[in-house]
Structure formats: structure tokens, C-alpha cells
Structure 1
Amino acid sequence: MKKTAIIPLRKNSKGIPGKNKKKMLGRPLFSWVLTEAIFSELDEVYVFTDDQEIVDYIKREYFWTSKVKTLLRNDENASDTASTESAMVEFAGLVKTDFDILCLLQATSPLTKAENINDALNEILSNKKDAALTVVNTHRFIWNADGTPQNYDVFKRPRRQDFDGLLIENGAVYATTKEAFLTSNNRVSGSIGLVKMPEESLVEIDSLSDWDIVEKLLTDRLKKLKIHQRIDYLVLDVDGVFTDGCVYYDANGEMAKKFDMRDGMGLEILRQNNVEVVVMTSENSELVAQRMKKLQIKHTFLGVKDKFSFLTHFLSERNSSFGAVSYVGDDVNDLANICSVGWSFTPADATDVVKANADYVLTHNSGAGAIRETCEIILKYNKRYEGI
């Protein structure tokens, strides 16, 4: 069965202007659910938007997977008053209903994981439901407007551990068979399966305070998932790590960057001890390409904006994990990786937000021995795994 997902995005947002493109942990909001969808059991994922900038971004950033596609939605179905169902109906017509299961994913639910998507699909594929949606089991006491309780007896107030609570729709994942959707034109209909997600996924991003709450929840979750093992990969940013972050220009453009020769020797020693070096930078610089060629770093990736998604792909291809990675970054676009890898480092002169989240703040500045210091720490750390 062909399993297709749609992530509807609108260009304009009144609550938080530019919400879908606003950076959460250094990544556009929509990229969190998009990455999970890529590594789920879905066959294809359409970003359905009226924003050409998002379309261009996706084509640049996700070239490494054939699963991600883009489709422009019409202005009428991208207005404030348009329903999500109207966008789904438009999408189904544009793709000529070439799917067996249609999955709706919401960009405003960045806590969605691939397994949540897979569980929703499983309700249809294995449990033979017509549709499925994600819910949260909340233990809140609910009241009606007339002052009467909905879900408990005020004279027999239950303890939390004895209270079943309520299942509340969290708006993250919906799935439906093609037949059910064509019959109802609704995201769910017929027999509906429920997929439970953690209670924190109930927070909706409608204001900047919601944004801060969800970003903190996401940061904490990434850090809790960290695992420590032998470091097999050292992943490095360039500007602000290899260099002091300064770029010298003349009338013809980029002219010079300063690199520390001692860093190169540290990386050579690290490779001799079976740690692969990977360079990942958002800049597309010929000077950087030349320097990495000189250092014989074959895994050099330029122009990578979504570093978390690309690193996930890189490790997946090698049957490895974030636990085997040490990462050095200095700015907000490194944050997701800083919070996820086995060990993260940042130079002494990095931005405050990165220093607050890195595992280790180095004593050396960027472009002045930070990488060499990292190499020496990794060599000492990996010794504990010798002979295992």
C-alpha cells in the first residue's frame, strides 16, 4: 500500500509571523516533523505550501532523499479562513488520489517522532481501522460552562494514580484510507484508531510563550536521549570552529580565511586512531573546499543548512547513531546536533546559547586551538573502549 503524507504550510501566520520558517533550535519549525517523516515508514512526503521560499529550501536541503516532494497550494486554500480539509481535498486532486493511505502531519507539532507516525499507519495496516489520530492521556479535571464537572464526581475526587483521565486530540498525526477520505472528505472517519503520545505533546504553538515552552521540551528530550559510546566520528562546523569566524573580502568577494595549522595535525592523529572526520558547514566556500582537500577530509559537505537532518541521513547510511558522534559547533544552527550527539563541544568564544547547551566548553577559542583540544579529549576518552 502506498503511504503518502502531506505537511500543509501557509506563508502567513498572524499569531507568530513566519512561524513555519522560524528557527526552533536553529532549524525551521517544519523541518522537525519533516525529518521524522523521512525516517518513518511513509513512502513519500509532500510539503504542500504557498511559500516559494520553502519550496526552494526543501529542494536544496533534501536532495539526498527521493521521499520528499513539494507542491504549491492555491491562495484560497492557504488563507486564514480555509480549513485543513480543503487543503487535503485540493492535494488529493492534484496527485490524482495516487495513494492508499493519506497521512496529515502538522508542522506545529515538532515533538512528533517517526514511531508516532508508524503507529498511526499500523492502526490502519494491522488493526484494520479506517483512520487513526494521535491523542494525549491527560489527568486534568474538566468542567462545563454551567459549573458542572464533566469527568469526575466532586464528592469523590480521585487520586491521580487512580484516575483514568481523558484522551485529548493533540493535532500531531492523522491518517486515513483513501476510501474513507473520498467518502467523507475528512481527515478521519469510519472506524478510528487512537495512538497515544506523551503529555507534553499537547502544547500547541499559538504564541511566543508556547514557542519557548516547546523549544525547552524539545531540547530536554534530545539531551535525555543521548547515549555515550566510543566516538567514531568527529563532525565539525567551519566558521567559528576551524576559523575565528571572520571572513576577509575584496571587490571580487571572499578573499581569505585563517586556519590554525595545529588543528590539522590533531585531525590527522585522530584519523590514525580510527575516528573519521566530517566537515559540515552552511557556507558554500571554495576556500573551505580547498582547505579540506589539503587536510584530506573526504567527508566534506558544503552548503548544509539543516545540519541535523543531514547528519541523521549520514549516520543512517553507515548504520551508526548520534551516540558515536562528537560534534563541535559555535552558533544556533548547530544547536540540534549539539543537543543530540554523544559528546558536544564548543569553543570558548562561541555564542552563549551554544555554550549553555554543549557538553563541554573548550578552553581555546575558535581558530586558535579549539579543534586540537577536542582531538586530544576524544583520544583520551576513546581509550576506555580499547580492548572491548
Structure 2
Amino acid sequence: MKKTAIIPLRKGSKGIPGKNKKKMLGRPLFSWVLTEAIFSDLDEVYVFTDDQEIIDYVEREYHWSSKVKALLRNAENASDIASTESVLLEFAENINQDFDILSLLQATSPMTLASDINATLNEIIQNKKDAALTVVNTHRFTWNADGTSQNYDVFKRPRRQDFGGLLIENGAVYTTTKEAFLNSKNRISGTIGLVKMPEETLVEIDSLSDWDIVEKLLAERLKKSKIHQRIDYLILDVDGVFTDGSVYYSPDGELAKKFDMRDGMGLEIIRQNQVEVIVLTSENSELVAQRMKKLQIKNTFLGVKDKFSFLRQFLLDRNSSFGAAAYVGDDVNDLANICSVGWSFAPSNATEIVKTNADYVLNNDSGNGAIRETCEIILKYNKRYERI
């Protein structure tokens, strides 16, 4: 049974210009649900868009996952008056209806988890529903425009704990069988299963104030999910961590970066204590490649923009998790990992937003002993896991 998902994206956005590519916790908005789709039970997930820049990004950043595909969408069907159903029908035709189950995933619902996607699939596969969608159980009292209450008796106002509330679509996930979709030409039809998501997922991103609310909720959820255990992996950004963030350029391009020799010794010591060092940078620098080769750091990954999804897959391949990782970063593209790993560190000269979200703000600046300080802290911390 082939389980396929579509994430429809439009280049244009009136409420928040460039919304789908705007950075939420340092990652493009659409990448949050895309990552969860990758780690769900789906067999494939298509980013369906009229934006060639997004297609290029997806093909470049997610080459490590065979699930992910990008497909160009008809510009005429990407207007703000085009219906979602028309987009689904266009998509189904483009892939020759090669699916048994189709999931619609909305990029504007970054709080969606792989477990939410799987739950809608299970409604169809295990509970034999024709379709399923995600909802939120809200305990709000609702009213009609004529001043009459909709869902309660004003003279018998129920206590929250006694009130069943209302189930409201949150627009995150819609899943349907191929047969039901082709017959109804609608995202949900026939017998429909409901999957409850937390109440905070009801916030829709239509304005910048909505954006700020969801970003804070997302950061807090990641932090609350942290697990503390022995640190087996130390993940390091380069610019602003190994270096002070400066770079010298010549007419031929990048000329020089300054590295701290004490950091190199700290990394040698921590590896001797069974902590694996990984370098993860968005830049594609030959100077960095040469320096990491000198430091004998085999796991050096250059040109990685979506560090969060890449690290998640890296740890999964090693049967590990974020709880066994420490991360040092300095800027917004490190935020998702800063909020997720067991212990996160920010150099003293990191950006304020990173220092606000990091577990530990170091005394030393980047390129001036920050990595060495991190190594010493981790070595002390790991001692509590040593057998007596």
C-alpha cells in the first residue's frame, strides 16, 4: 500500500510575503512539516510548488532521503483563488495517480509531528476509514451573530472539566484513500476518522503576530522534549564557533580564517574520552575542509542548510538520539538544534537569540577558546555516567 504525501506551496503570499521560505527557528517554514513527513510512515513526500528556488533547495538539501521529491506546480493553479482540491487533482494527474493513500500536509502547521501523520494513516489502514483529518478539542464557548449561544446553556454554564468542548479542524493533516479521493474529488469523504492534536496547534499563521506565537511554542516544545544522558556526540558549527566569524577575501575568493589551537587540543582530548566530534556547517569552504582534515575530524559535513533534519537522520543512522548530543552554535540557523539536543552551548559573542535559547552560555568567545571550554564541561558532565 503506497502512502504518498503532498505539501503544496505557493510563491505568492499576501499576509506574510515569502511565508513558506521565511525562517522559523532558523529553518524555512515548510521544512518543519517536511522533516516530520520524512520520519513518518509515509513512503514518499512531494513538495508541490511554483517556486523554482524551493525546488532547488529541496533537491539540494534532502538528497539523503529517498522519500523526498520536488515537483513543479502549474502557475495558473497557484493563484490565491485556486482551491486546494484543484491542486490535489493536478498533483494526482502529474504522478499518474500512483498512490493508494494520499496525505495533504500544510506547511503553515509547523507543530505537526510524524506521530500525527501516522495517526491519520492508521485511521485508514487499521480502522478502515475512507479518510481522516486532524482536529483540536477546544473548550471555548461559541456564539451566533444574533447573540445566541451555540454550544452551551448560558444559565447552566458548565465547568471546564465537565464540558466536552468542540472539535475544530486545525488544517494540519488530511488523509484519504485513492478511491475516495477520485470518487469525491475532495480531500475527505466517506467514513472519516478524527485525530486529536494539542490545542496550541489551532493557531494559524496569517500574520506576523501569529508567526511569533507559533515560533515560541515550537521552541518551548523542543526544549521540553530534551533528554539528558551521557554525551556521545559533540556537534560544532564553524563560522562563529571555530572562528570569530570573520573571513578574509582576495579577488580569487575566500583567503583565510583564524582558528584557535587550544580548541584543537580540546577536541583531541574529548575524542580520547569516547565522544565523537561532528562538524556541521552551511558553508562550503575548502579552508574549513583542510582544517578539519588536519584535526582528523572525519565526520565533516559542508554546505548543509537544514542542519536539524540532517542531524536527526545522522543520529538515527547510529541508533542514537538528540539526548546523546551536545551542540555549539552561534546564529539563527543553529536554533532548532540548540533547542533539541541534550546540552546546547553558545559562545559568549553569539547572537542574543541563540544565547537566550541555549542551555549554557560560555565564558569564552568563538575562535578564542569557546570549543575548549565546551569540551571541558562535557568531560566533567560525562563523569557522572562512569562506572565506579
Instruction: Please tell me the TM-score bracket, short chain as reference.
Output: over 0.9
Q: How does 1:228-377 map to 2 (within 5 A)?
A: 228-377=228-377
- How far the C-alpha of 1:77 sits from its partner, in A, is 1.1
Q: Distance in 2 between matches of 1:309 and 1:38?
A: 9
Alignment of 1:116-155 (within 5 A): 116-155=116-155
Structure-2 residue corresponding to 1:218: 218
TM-score (normalised: structure 2): 1.00
Shift of 1:75: 1.0
Q: Which segments of 5 or more consecutive residues in structure 2 lack a partner in the other structure?
A: none
Note the 1:36-47 alignment, pairs <5 A: 36-47=36-47
Rounded to whole Å, the distance in 2 between the matches of 1:194 and 1:127 is 11
Deviation (angstroms), 1:376 = 0.2
State the match for 1:15 in structure 2. Answer: 15
Q: Percent of counterpart pairs with the same letter? A: 83
- Return the letter of the residue paired with 2:91: F
Alignment correspondent of 1:114 = 114
Q: Which amino acid aligns with 2:206?
A: D
- Matched to 1:210, the amino acid is D
SS of the residue 2:239 aligns to: coil
Structure 1 segments of 4+ aligned residues over 3 angstroms from their partners: none
Q: Deviations over 1:318-345 (max 9, x none)?
A: 1100000000000000000000000000
| One-letter amino acid of the structure 2 residue matched with residue 340 of structure 1 | S
In 2, distance between residues paired with 1:276 and 1:314?
A: 12
Q: What are the residue-to-residue correspondences of 1:16-165 with 2, within 5 Å?
A: 16-165=16-165
TM-score in terms of structure 1 length? 1.00
Shift of 1:387: 1.0
- After superposition, the C-alpha distances for 1:134-187 in whole angstroms (9 at most, x for unaligned) are 000000001111111111001100000000000000000000000000001100
The DSSP-based 3-state class of the residue aligned with 1:155 is coil
2:204 corresponds to which residue? 204
Query: In structure 1, how many angstroms separate the alpha carbons of the residues matched to 2:20 and 2:84?
Result: 15
Amino acid paired to 1:23: K
| Aligned residue type for 1:62 | Y
Give the distance between the partners of 2:126 and 2:35, measured in 1 at CA: 24
Find the residue that maps to 1:40 and give its secondary structure.
coil
Q: Quick one: distance in 2 between partners of 1:276 and 1:319?
A: 14
Matches of 1:54 and 1:318, distance apart in 2: 30
Distance, in Å, in 2 between the alignment partners of 1:244 and 1:300 is 19
CA distance in 2 between partners of 1:81 and 1:319 (Å)? 46
Q: Give unpaired runs (5+ residues) of structure 1.
A: none
Question: What code does the residue aligned with 1:349 have?
Answer: N
Structure 1: how far apart are the matches of 2:281 and 2:81? 40
Post-superposition Cα deviations, 1:9-68, rounded to whole Å, max 9, x if no partner, equal 000100000000000000000000000000000000000000000000011100101100
CA distance in 2, matches of 1:259, 1:88: 51
CA distance in 2, matches of 1:110, 1:286: 35
Give the C-alpha shift of residue 277 in structure 1.
0.1
Question: How far apart in 1 are the matches of 2:154 and 2:373?
Answer: 62
Across the aligned residues of Structure 1 and Structure 2, the Cα RMSD in angstroms comes to 0.5
Which residue identity does 1:147 align to in structure 2?
G
Which residue in the other structure is 2:186 paired with?
186
Q: Which residue identity is paired with 1:306?
A: D
Compute the displacement of 1:93 (Å). Answer: 0.3
Query: In the aligned structure 2, how far is the partner of 1:31 from the partner of 1:284?
Result: 21
Write the distance in 2 (CA, Å) between the matches of 1:317 and 1:12: 37
3-state SS, counterpart of residue 292 of structure 2: helix
Q: Distance in 1 between matches of 2:387 and 2:24?
A: 41
Shift of 1:76: 1.4
Deviations 1:266-311 (A, max 9, x none): 0000000000000000000000000000000000000000000100
Shift of 1:100: 0.2
Question: Per-residue deviation at 1:229?
Answer: 0.2
Distance apart, 1:109 and its partner CA = 0.0
Q: Deviations over 1:182-214 (max 9, x none)?
A: 001100000000000000000000000000000
Counterpart check, 1:384 vs 2:384: yes
> Could you tell me how far apart the structure 2 residues matched to 1:93 and 1:212 are?
37
Q: Could you list the per-position Cα deviations for residues 88-124 of structure 1 after superposition, in whole angstroms to 9, with x for gaps in the alignment?
A: 0000000010000000000000000000000000000
